[in-house]
Amino acid sequence: MSPSLPNVTSKIWPGTGPDDAYLGLVSQGPGRKVATTLGLPAPVELRRHDPARPTVSGPVVVLSPTSGARGPGETAATEADDLATHLLGRGLEVHRHGDDLRKVGAVVLCLTEVRTPSDLTAPALELGSVLRKLAPGGRVITVSRPATGVALGSAANLPASGDSQDYTAVSRNAARQGVVGFLRSAAQEMRGGATANGIVVADGVSVSAPSVAGSLDFLLSGRSAFVDGQFLVVGTDQGPADLAQVPQGEAPLSGRVVVVTGAARGIGEEIARLLHTQGAHVVPVDVPAAGQPLSTLANELETASLSLDVTAEDAGQRILEHCRSRYGRLDGIVHNAGITRDKMLANMDQAKFASVLAVNTEAPLRITEQLLADPMADGLRVVGLASTSGVAGNRGQTNYAASKAGVVGMVAGLAPILAARGGTANAVAPGFIETEMTAKIPLARRQVARRLNSLQQGGLPLDVAEAIAFLLSDSAAGISGQTLRVCGQNLVGA
């Protein structure tokens, strides 16, 4: 942990978060009662990370198809026990059923050994009974195995070779994919700022793998406040051999050198600030025109900024030179720099379409290629900024959606290349995030956009930054090629 970290606070944009007038009106008291009576959205302020508060607001219940009993589901029960052991090691109060509890802070449902769709019935109903006791801001997390041949995150798992008449495997595949639909629907039923997310553990990877532990920690905590209805796919056992070595505390990125492009304002600024508070040496990068805010940020973070147009042919080489001369290492890069040039396709011109692709997709591709040509990039963690527009499309954003879908494809393609170097590549896809840009949207449209997700409110730049910090950490060493949506389960796309 860094010996001392300046008190660099997060920026809350005017009209966001607690200043969302509607959120403030209906989050409690008479306003909430009126909203409920009229069937209007009734969001509540989300439980975000606070080092002075417990990770969860009550006991954690770990369920499995056998609820701890032995028999046909013996393996599932054992894996549920392993998950419970990890949570106990984190100092949490853990139970294997919730019958005698009045309040529950979180539920972890181990479904790694479901074999038929009917195996989902009993644990689902048991979860339903416990949900009545779930505290505000509670968490539900499923732990399951992947269905083969079905896309989850960014790419499909390749079908396993074998007997085409093996209907046992077909049934198991149906059950495993059933977990996805179950979890995403359950997420839409959460109340009081609670969320439901899943961890998918690749076949052959233990539920005791470091990144399963790290994913549990992240999803249980307030750091995942705006992540809902999503899955983290743990593909390898990569990471610290001892679970106790998975970083905890407030500085899990201590000593790391991380470059953040587009850092002078908005989400990029928040990313830089949070990574700094978590112990990283941050290299903020932005265009020369943003020199003043970039310098101000660099001074606050006590670091040296780099004024750079990411579309420059030598951008990656300049980043390498900067990091080598000041730190002698480079551990991660966040490709946050991006632009929009929105137009209906019928009115789109070549300059608007090409410029968005150049900044949002081609620059990260070129920069990463140049970084990987240098041995200093061994072990590099890459995080790209995608968007829900790149997942589901958005009217008037054909160029932007193409560029952000390109980022999803980029990290999926980079994953095996970086794996050979001990690194990872992932993306974060924000939904409606409260920034200076979204604050300029007309009031009525802004209010509608805020409510179109399961949490019925806009996210904060901090929520995006928290997800990125997790993906840069050792806790996510076994996660690569994935795109994590930070959108409150925006009701578009998968």
Specify the CATH number for the domain of residue 315: 3.40.50.720
pLDDT at 362 over 90: yes
DSSP for 117-179? GGGGHHHHHHHHHHHTTEEEEEEEEEEE-PPTT-EETTEEPPPPPS-TT-HHHHHHHHHHHHH
Half-sphere exposure at residue 436, Cβ-oriented, CA atoms within 13 angstroms: 8
| Other Cβ atoms within 10 Å of 19 Cβ, number | 12
Q: Report, as residue numbers or ranges, the catalytic residues.
A: 400
Question: Do 64 and 34 lie in a common domain?
Answer: no
Cα separations in angstroms, 348 against 40, 351, 355, 398: 38, 9, 12, 9
**CA-closest candidate to residue 39, choices 469, 451, 473:** 451
Is residue 333, in this structure, part of any structural domain at all? yes
DSSP state, 362?
Answer: I
- d(C-alpha 235, C-alpha 53), whole Å: 32
| Cα(205)–Cα(189) distance, integer angstroms | 31
Check residue 166 and give its pLDDT. 75
Q: Classify residue 468: in a domain, yes or no.
A: yes
Residue 250 binned pLDDT confidence (cut-offs 50, 70, 90)? confident
Average pLDDT over residues 342-358: 96
Identify the pLDDT of residue 177: 96
Give the model's confidence band at 5: pLDDT under 50 very low, under 70 low, under 90 confident, else very high: very low
Given this model, what pLDDT does residue 68 score? 42
d(CA 393, CA 390): 6
Q: Which domain holds residue 138?
A: 60-68+78-156+164-234
Backbone angles phi, psi at 384, to 5 degrees: -105, 155
Are residues 123 and 222 part of one domain?
Answer: yes
Of the three residues 234, 267, 295, the one that is the final residue of a domain is: 234
Indicate whether 363 and 296 sit together in one domain: yes
Domain shared by 391 and 338, yes or no: yes
- Same domain, yes or no, for 34 and 137? no
Tell me the one-letter amino acid at 205: V
Residues 209 and 97 in one domain: yes
Q: Would you state the pLDDT for residue 239? A: 79
Same domain, 35 and 145: no
pLDDT of residue 6: 42
Predicted local distance difference test score (pLDDT) of residue 7: 45
Q: What is the pLDDT of residues 317-344, one digit of tens each?
A: 999 999 999 999 999 999 999 999 999 9
Model confidence at 29: pLDDT above 80: no
d(CA 36, CA 295): 47
- Same domain flag for 175 and 100: yes
Q: Determine, yes or no, domain membership for 52.
A: no
pLDDT surpassing 70 at residue 161: no
CA 19 vs CA 14, 23, 156, 241, 384: distances in Å: 7, 8, 41, 44, 29
Structure confidence by residue, pLDDT tens digits, 170-213 = 999 999 999 999 999 999 999 999 999 999 999 999 999 999 99
Record the tokens describing residue 289, joined without a space.
């025109």
Domain edge (last residue) among 207, 234, 261: 234
Whether 7 is in a domain gets the answer no
Handedness of CA 102, 104, 109, 110 (dihedral sign): negative
- What's the Cα-to-Cα distance from 196 to each of 57, 142, 168, 182, 225, rounded to whole Å? 15, 8, 29, 10, 10
Q: How far apart are CA 189 and CA 368, in angstroms?
A: 40
**H helix or E strand, kind and range, residue 276:** helix 266-277
373 and 304 fall within a common domain: yes
Total of domains in the chain: 3
Whether 493 is covered by a domain: the verdict is: no
Same domain, 34 and 92: no
